[in-house]
Amino acid sequence: MENENILSVTQPISIRFNEVDSMGVVWHGNYAIYLEDAREAFGAKYGLEYLMMYDEGYFEPIVELNLKYKQPLIYGMTAEVYIVYRPCEAAKIVFDYEIRDPETKTVYVTGHSVQVFMDKNTHQLVLNSPDFYEKWKQRWEVNL
């Protein structure tokens, strides 16, 4: 049975001049920055901040990042990044994203990311979810 407790955040963004190419369209690499901003907002809201995880002894590198570009974002536009946490049994942090118009909800980009845990001292991949992460999932009732 799939968990119905959805953890999500909506992060507003404004498209700035330094983020676009000569055609006025957001350069593709900047979308990853928008997703990072959403992950930080998610962490702040739900207590899963990078510095907290670092203090617990872990790094969380991204091992998978997928983007599907549906429509371009143009200089001067405002948009929002909608981020949703996707529970999984593995020692991973998984998110899905939509970058969309804040009023019409027209979707410009969809995305997906996967982060794993690495021991900050040994830089070794951690195959079992750290205790703090298991407690976090229990707190928010997102265990499968």
Residue 2 covered by a domain: no
CATH code at position 58: 3.10.129.10
Structural domain for 45, as ranges: 8-139
Residue 144 covered by a domain: no
Residue 65 covered by a domain: yes
Residue 16 pLDDT more than 90?
Answer: yes
Residue 22 covered by a domain: yes
Say which residues have a Cβ less than 8 Å from residue 103's Cβ, sequence separation at least 6: none
Over pLDDT 90: what percentage of the chain? 95
Per the structure, how many domains does the chain have? 1
Q: Distance of CA 62 to CAs 49, 135, 140, Å?
A: 15, 22, 22
Q: What is the pLDDT of residue 5?
A: 82
Q: What is the pLDDT of residue 4?
A: 63
Residue 1 covered by a domain: no
> How many other β-carbons are positioned within 10 Å of the β-carbon of residue 13?
20
What is the tens place of the pLDDT at every residue in 89-106?
Answer: 999 999 999 999 999 999
